[in-house]
Amino acid sequence: MRRSLLCGLAGVVGCLALSTTAMAGGPDPADYPLRVHIFKYTSQSRHARESKNWSDAPDYVDGQGAADLFENGEPRGFMFTYSCMDSLRASGGYASFPARWKKREKTLEVLLPEAGKPWNTVTCDLHSEMRPGLVFFLRNDLLAEESAAVFKDWMAKHQYDPEKGKDDPQSAQDGPMGPIEP
């Protein structure tokens, strides 16, 4: 009896140790110094091979969209295409996702929370087409463009700097993204 209890406890402890190790794996957010704010995107699920069962889950999702990159205190807009294992998602509010360059000015690797498991993270490559001197923002649910210099001034006035964890603008003045409630 005592031996079976000890074996059972040892098994539980072993499972907990393995699950903690597995959860600790994955990309390290500290390796992703840039921030990306995804505004809008389109997506289409795809199968890598011909499936005989229509209920099979898709192998990957691809599409296109528009986003802003924050790098070294500078905002830059870009259009992108992507093909990822998990569905992409738009940034909520003023929040942004960690990112890093995979190929400078061509491919950004973005770190996203895994669907259904927000404690896990997955990566997705965004193949970017940079928009020099422009950024994107939403006005009345429509995507609009603004000068990067004007937006940078707005960022300074509202103390908005996603690279430094300041994802919530601080003042109630109007700016390129419209009025902000304190």
> Using one digit for the tens of pLDDT, what is the confidence trace for 82-108?
988 877 888 888 889 999 999 999 999
Looking at beta carbons, which pairs linking 149-152 to residues 24 or more positions away fall under 8 Å? 150/176, 151/75, 151/176, 152/73, 152/74, 152/75
Q: Which two tokens stand for residue 19?
A: 């699950």
Closest CA to 36 of 167, 179, 175: 167
Residue 182's pLDDT is 32
Q: Which two tokens stand for residue 126?
A: 């965004």
> Using one digit for the tens of pLDDT, what is the confidence trace for 40-75?
888 777 665 555 555 555 577 889 999 999 999 999
Residue 56's pLDDT is 59
171 three-class SS: coil
Residue 111's pLDDT is 92
Q: Which residues pair with 130 in a beta bridge?
A: 78
Amino acid at site 15: C
